[in-house]
Structure 1
Amino acid sequence: MRKLALTGLLLGGLHLGCGGDGDLLSPRPPAPPAGVATLSGTITQSMTLDPALTYRIQGTTIVEDGATLTIPAGTLLLGDVDYSGSALIVRQGGRLVARGTADAPIVFTSSNPAGTRRRGDWGGVVLNGRSNCNFPSDECVGEGNSGPYGGTETDDDSGELSYVRIEYAGYEVSFGNELNGLTLNGVGSGTRLHHIQSHFGSDDGIEFFGGTVDLKYAYVTGASDDSFDYSTGWQGRGQFWAAQQDPHDADNGFEVDGNEEDFDAVPFTDPTIYNVTLVGKEAGTGSAGESSRGIIFRRGTAGMLYNAVILGFEKGFDVDNEETADRVQIRNSYVFGQESRSFEGAEDNETPDIDEEALWMTAGWDNVMDVDPMLADPFNLMMPDFRPFGGSPLTKGYAEPPADDGFFEAVDYIGAFAPGVPQWIEGWTTSEQG
């Protein structure tokens, strides 16, 4: 990955100081065209971007400890494809404050022209915090050379992302060492994350490695690997998560792990999540082996998941490892797959002694299988409608979230979308493919 030594921000060829002139490479890069500014190198002093400008992220761009990068509503940022693995990485102690609005979202996308953008054009956005990690501290280092994370500051504050789109990201640094659309490494609960779309990334859409941060109103579309991935001791809360997968290139809706080397490592991955809609592919369409599993829980993870709809996956629900089966629960949820049998068979199961169908139908969990949840138009790739259709069973049998914790909102339905009202994805998200 190429990293520029240039510090701070170049604006029309003018260096706005976040370091001295001694930090500059020689010769100086060419000035960007009018209306375009450049973010590159290391940002060591707080700065606020100008929404009237378009910013090119060139190479590994780092917000250092003690600095806050503020991005106003409506700002457009382009991961520069001429610089290998361009990415925005916030170190421990740094902050990214990106507050968009429904009418003026903040968009991180590829610098390639519209219509020619592809997965992996650039690296994406990474936040590193000082909250949970269930590996030894010297091993809590982010993928994609994104730096150390983890600690004991569960309320650590890495800033805010709201009404933010991250498109065509997911650069592969080396095999198995990749950046995602949005990577959350040990991010603490003082960070605020809501109304975020990760769109057409080459790895996972949104991935948590440890941490205690909460996430609400999250939308992943077209991720070529997992839509949501959490592991390494993440213990936050989530509500209103939705994913629509590419029928020709996708893996799991949820991939959930504890610690891959020690299934009893603490803190356990142990979040509480309400109201999820995961959409794979319509029966008879797409490529075999894609959208393989709606949810896989493994490697000793714990956690509670309520009010989920798992629709259109070759296998809806998979649990590996006895430690996992003893700790994780999914309740008040629907699975409706590609086949009448929505679970791994013993011949395919990593842990054959676990009967996923029996686990799904645990008394008191109030789950349903092989009943159509009747979503309006969930497989439409350009204008999806994930709301329950008239007569849908999703308006009954839901779990009510805790009313007094300050995060969860009251619901009277299963899934991420309420019937009869506009979808929360309208106006600020995209369905464009390229």
Structure 2
Amino acid sequence: MKKLFVSLFAMTLALTSCSSNDEETTTKTPATGEITGTITENKTLPYGNYTLKGMVKVAAGVTLTIEAGSTITADKTTGDNGLVILNGGKLIAVGTADAPIVFTEKSKIPGSWAGIIMYGDAPIVNSSTNPAPQTATSEDGLALTYGGSNATHNGGTLKYVRVEYAGQIITTNSKEHNGFSFYSVGSGTVLENLVSYMGNDDGFEFYGGTVSGKNLVSYGNKDDSFDWQDGWRGQDNTNWYAYQTGVGNYGMEIESKGVNNNFGPKVVGITLKRAAGTTTESQSEIQLDAIQFKKEGNGDYSNIVIDGYKNQTTPTAYNGGVLQVLDLNTYNNQIAGGKIKLNNLKISNCDNTFISGVSTFTLSANSFNPTTNWTTSTTATGATLTSGAWATVNGVNLLGNL
């Protein structure tokens, strides 16, 4: 009996060990498929590798869910491709640091597809001071109306999502795309740990709205790293990192349709870096500064690290620097008016601190200084981010220069 008990115990232990090992070594087979057309009913894409074909739209009242670790690939040879979340629709794309959700393009050429575009009905401003809910028409070629009064609009949850090689430009100012485009998206939407990589236009653009973004990385985008207009007013933004390399314009381009607002966004923890030799996208415009304010843009920004915004000598000589103000109204109403706050800035490797943007603005480089709400320091930390697969492309850690 004793020998039998020992044998049974040994067999049970062996079976248990095998079962445990089997569970540890089991790998999940990725699903495959094509995403196309308008999604008109709730849909979940299990972990897998998918092809995105055409301008795919998520209809109002419909939720598209994408599981962690999935890769969605567009192919520019099939025409215009992009993922559009219409007002009332939702995208639930929740990856992890080790298993991000990646949207990419087959050719790996910047500007090959439209990226992720989300619509809401949160407030915007337009070309007047009318306090009534205002609307505008999108510049993405879809010519959709955006804007409204729903400040808490919820377009879903995006966590650990990377968009690569987007920023398609068809016709300047009438059909342009970014890595992420948020049209009047509301504060009920969650945006965390997002990467816009090697696009041909802006990394992130906010067209009004109240949404906020945490842990955002804009890497190698050829226009602006972060851009907004229409009175965007997100209040809970933290840890933004821009790295401009090769070709790039502003680290942040800030405007408000010429409307002198009493509100603006708030961002805490910003790092803006420009690699040596990076030139402007267009040689006809002065676009190589860390931060540009124009058309009454404003906001509250703190704990900022700025590095590498130097003068450009070739192919066209331009002054580079930290802060550019493009027009006198913005200087008078926003800077002198105390509506632009830039505090705790750590500046290095920049040739100029203050630059005026146009010849009719008589203040020359380094000749003006915000009288209030401007402080520099040597202790600012900027963005604080943790490396992982979510911020690694082709074996390169995108946070390596942070």
1:318 aligned partner:
324
> What is the Cα deviation at residue 144 of structure 1?
3.1
Quick check: 2:193–2:216 contact (8 Å CA) kept in 1? Answer: yes
1:40 aligned partner:
36
Among candidates 142, 163, 168, match of residue 165 of structure 2: 168
Alignment of 1:191-206 (within 5 A): 191-206=189-204
Q: Distance in 1 between matches of 2:51 and 2:171?
A: 24
Change (3 A) 1:222 1:118: same
Give the letter aligned to residue 119 of structure 2.
Answer: N
Among candidates 75, 92, 99, match of residue 104 of structure 1: 99
Alignment of 1:49-198 (within 5 A): 49-51=45-47, 53-112=48-107, 117-135=108-126, 137-145=134-142, 147-176=144-173, 177-198=175-196
Q: Distance in 2 between matches of 1:357 and 1:306?
A: 23
Q: Distance in 1 between matches of 2:84 and 2:362?
A: 41
1:343 aligned partner:
354
Alignment of 1:242-261 (within 5 A): 242-246=241-245, 248-259=246-257
Change (3 A) 1:57 1:146: farther
TM-score calculated relative to the size of structure 2: 0.78
Q: Distance in 2 between matches of 1:432 and 1:147?
A: 36
Residue by residue over 1:384-430, the C-alpha shift from the partner in whole angstroms, topping out at 9 and shown as x without a partner, is xxxxxxxxx32xxxxxxxxxxxxxxxxxx43113xxxxx42433213
Q: Distance in 1 between matches of 2:178 and 2:361?
A: 29
Quick check: 1:109–1:166 contact (8 Å CA) kept in 2? Answer: yes
1:415 aligned partner:
382
**Local SS of the residue matching 1:428:** helix
Change (3 A) 1:189 1:345: closer
Alignment of 1:202-351 (within 5 A): 202-237=200-235, 238-246=237-245, 248-259=246-257, 262-264=258-260, 270-282=264-276, 285-287=277-279, 292-313=288-309, 314-321=320-327, 322=329, 323-325=333-335, 326=337, 327-339=339-351, 341-344=352-355, 351=361
| Structure 2: segments with no counterpart, 5+ residues | 1-29, 128-133, 310-319, 397-402
> What is the Cα deviation at residue 50 of structure 1?
1.5
1:406 aligned partner:
none
Change (3 A) 1:345 1:65: closer
> What is the Cα deviation at residue 228 of structure 1?
0.2
Between stretches 305-314 and 101-110, larger displacement belongs to 305-314
Give the letter aligned to residue 424 of structure 1.
Answer: T
**Local SS of the residue matching 1:219:** strand
**Local SS of the residue matching 1:344:** strand
**Local SS of the residue matching 1:97:** strand
| Structure 1: segments with no counterpart, 5+ residues | 1-33, 369-392, 395-412, 418-422
Quick check: 2:123–2:148 contact (8 Å CA) kept in 1? Answer: yes
Asked whether 1:352 is paired with 2:362, we answer yes
> Percent identity between the aligned chains?
30
> What is the Cα deviation at residue 431 of structure 1?
4.3
Give the letter aligned to residue 115 of structure 2.
Answer: G
Q: Distance in 2 between matches of 1:298 and 1:175?
A: 19
Change (3 A) 1:192 1:204: same
Q: Distance in 2 between matches of 1:350 and 1:200?
A: 35
Give the letter aligned to residue 367 of structure 1.
Answer: T
Residue by residue over 1:21-72, the C-alpha shift from the partner in whole angstroms, topping out at 9 and shown as x without a partner, is xxxxxxxxxxxxx953111111111100021x31111011000100000011
Quick check: 1:142–1:149 contact (8 Å CA) kept in 2? Answer: no
Q: Distance in 2 between matches of 1:163 and 1:185?
A: 21
Q: Which structure shows the higher helix fraction?
A: 2
TM-score calculated relative to the size of structure 1: 0.73
Quick check: 2:342–2:373 contact (8 Å CA) kept in 1? Answer: no
Q: RMSD in angstroms over aligned alpha carbons?
A: 2.4
Q: Distance in 1 between matches of 2:294 and 2:52?
A: 36
Larger Rg over CA atoms: 2
Change (3 A) 1:424 1:138: same
Change (3 A) 1:273 1:286: closer
Q: How many residues of Structure 1 are paired with residues of Structure 2 in the alignment?
A: 339
Quick check: 2:161–2:194 contact (8 Å CA) kept in 1? Answer: yes
Q: Distance in 1 between matches of 2:139 and 2:263?
A: 17
Q: Distance in 1 between matches of 2:169 and 2:368?
A: 39
